[in-house]
Amino acid sequence: MENVSCKRLFVAIDPPGEIRREIGKWLRPLRAAVGRQARVSWVEPERLHLTIKFLGSTEPGRLPALGAALRELAAALPAFELAIRGAGRFPEGERAPRVLWLGVDDPEGRLARLAEALERQLEPLGFAREKRAFSAHLTIGRVRAGTVRPELLRCGETLRFGNPFDVRELLLYESRTLPSGPVYGVLERFALAQ
C-alpha cells in the first residue's frame, strides 16, 4: 500500500517573471474566446512550469538520494538559454485537444539532453524511465469538457514570448491536489554550473 507520507514529485524549470507576465497577457483573450466553447482548467501564469521529469509518488526515505543525484547533475551542467515559442495541443491533428501548451525553443538541444541525463541518473534510484519521447512544453490549460477549436491555437512559430532566458537552476517540486486545483511547492533548488 502507498505510504501516506509519500510526496508527488516532479523536476521542472521555471520561466522568469517577465515571461510569465507576457504569457498571462496573451492568455487573456484566448481564455475569453475558449470560455464560450469549452471548460478548461487554465494554469495561472505564476504556476507555469516546464516539467522535465515526472517522478510521481515518492517515499520520504528516497529524498536524500534524489537530492544528491539532482545536485550532482545540476553542478555538472552549464547554464543555458531557452525561449518560449509557438503554441500547440495534445493530441495533435484533428482530434479534440485535451492539453493546450506553448512550445520551447531549444536550438542546441540542451533541454533534451538534460531530460535524457535525468532519466539516466534517476533510473538506478528506482524512478522508471519515461516511455514516451521527451517533448518540451509549457502546459497552459487542460480541457475538461467541450471542444477547443484548433484554429484558436493556430499561431505557429511566429508566436514568441519575450527574449531567450537563462536557465540557472532545476527545481524539485511537490504537487498536491486540493479541491481548488493542483498546488505546486518548490522543495529544493539545484543551481547549474556558471
Strands 7-13 and 50-58: antiparallel
Kindly state the smallest distance separating residue 158's Cβ from ligand ATP, in Å: 25
Cis ω before 91 (30° cut-off from 0)? yes
In the three-class reduction of DSSP (H, G, I as helix; E, B as strand; rest coil), residue 79 is classed as coil
137 catalytic per annotation: yes
The residue from 20, 53, 89, 137 that is catalytic is 137
User: Choosing from 20, 49, 53, 89, which is the catalytic residue?
Assistant: 49
Nearer to ligand ATP, 44 or 166 (CB): 44
Active site residue 22: no
Residues 6+ apart with CB under 8 A from 177: 8, 183
Output the smallest distance, CB 177 to ligand ATP, in A.
5
Footprint on this chain of ligand ATP (rule: CB under 6 A): 8, 10, 51, 54, 139, 142, 175, 177, 182
96 vs 193, beta carbon nearer ligand ATP: 96
Taken as a whole, the chain contains a residue count of 194
Q: Which is nearer to ligand ATP, 58 or 83 (CB)?
A: 58
CA–CA distance, 178 with 91 (Å, rounded to integer): 26
Smallest gap from Cβ 193 to ligand ATP, in A, equals 25
CB of residue 124 to ligand ATP, shortest distance in Å: 20
* 43, three cell numbers: 494554469
Q: Alpha-carbon distance 167 to 111, whole Å?
A: 10
Please give the positions annotated as active site. 49, 137
